[in-house]
Amino acid sequence: GALRGAPCLFARRFWPELAALSGDVGGRGVLRRHAADAAAIAATGHELRDLDTPEQWTAFAPDVGPR
């Protein structure tokens, strides 16, 4: 089976539901409620890194090299 996790991309139609979340709960509940709308994308390596802040991106960027 597929392993679900970060990063997770949500279509714009889910943004109001995500914006209504409080605390550090993430979008897991939204994803669970709309599981039929989800699609798994095969990925390995750097694309699986969870970057939530500019500081995390700055620390990560040297790992992926120039663009």
* 8-54: pLDDT as tens digits: 889 999 999 999 998 888 888 999 999 999 888 887 777 777 788 88
pLDDT at 26: 82
Name the more confident of 53 and 67.
53
Q: Model pTM greater than 0.75?
A: no
Query: Region 49-66: what's the mean pLDDT?
Result: 77
pLDDT at 6: 65
Specify the length of the chain in residues: 67
